[in-house]
Amino acid sequence: MAEKLFDRLRAACAEDWRAYVEHEFVRQLGDGSLPDACFRHYLCQDYLFLIHFARAYALAAYKSQELDDIRQAAAGLAAITDLEMGLHVEFCAGWGLDEAAMQALPEAEETMAYTRYVLEKGLSGDLLDLHVALAPCVIGYGEIGRNLAGKTVGNPYAKWIEMYASDDYQEVAAGAADQLDSLYERRAGEGRWPEMVKTFGQATRLEVAFWEMGLKMGG
């Protein structure tokens, strides 16, 4: 079986990838020691982040020329609006923030940098460019969820871990990896590899910056 494109990209950006999935923020999520203020700041910003990622999946549907690609975009959009954002709203309600208040929060620089980068890649490139930029988030959170799956007992962030470790989210992540393979086969050759590595690496580093934001600005 041919190596999956996602695995090749992850290996090509191995140092950045480890910095992302093994970040101190992730470690503290896993052992429950993350300060509440850090998680609150991260989650509120992630809610705003997800609004723009939902736009990116809507853009993916628009850029798609085949029905299967449209269905995959719809699945990604539904995972954001029906699965991820629901958990964010639930957490924030416990802090006295309703959804209108969440939407009115100012975006952090890290939120703007990451989301606008992904949207720009989608607007200026094709569907493959967009999905390579999306991959570190959608597939990476699935990997983090699997890594933390056994660390929920007594953990105040158990619901977050359980969502990303869930079968529903793992199916979304696996579907995103499969679609990368399909798009690469249909739309690309090895001549596009250097640019894909560049995009994947940049998006992964923006994920690291997003974790850093949670630690730095939430404390």
User: What DSSP string runs through 91-113?
Assistant: HHHHTT--HHHHHTSPPPHHHHH
Q: Average pLDDT, stretch 127-134?
A: 97
Does 110 qualify as catalytic in the annotation?
no
Tell me if 106 sits within 8 A of 195, measured CB to CB: no
Query: What is the SS3 assignment for 22?
Result: coil
pLDDT band at 121; cut points 50, 70, 90: very high
Decide which of 2 and 143 is more confident. Answer: 143
For each of the domains in the chain, give its residue range(s) and CATH number, in order of start. 5-218 (1.20.910.10)
| Catalytic, out of 92, 120, 207, 212 | 207
**Global pTM?**
0.95
Instruction: Quote the CA–CA distance of 67 and 156 in Å, as a whole number.
Output: 41
Mean pLDDT, all residues of the chain: 95
| Catalytic, out of 109, 137, 190, 195 | 137
Q: Considering only CA atoms, which of 160, 48, 44 is closest in space to residue 92?
A: 44
Q: Considering only CA atoms, which of 144, 172, 152 is closest in space to residue 79?
A: 172
Decide which of 177 and 191 is more confident. Answer: 177
Does 13 qualify as catalytic in the annotation?
no
Tell me if 52 sits within 8 A of 112, measured CB to CB: no
The pLDDT tens digits for 8-21 are 999 999 999 999 99
The phi, psi pair for 75, rounded to 5°, reads -65, -40
Q: Kindly tell me if the per-residue pLDDT of 217 is higher than 80.
A: no
The pLDDT tens digits for 192-208 are 999 999 999 999 999 99
Q: Kindly tell me if the per-residue pLDDT of 1 is higher than 80.
A: no
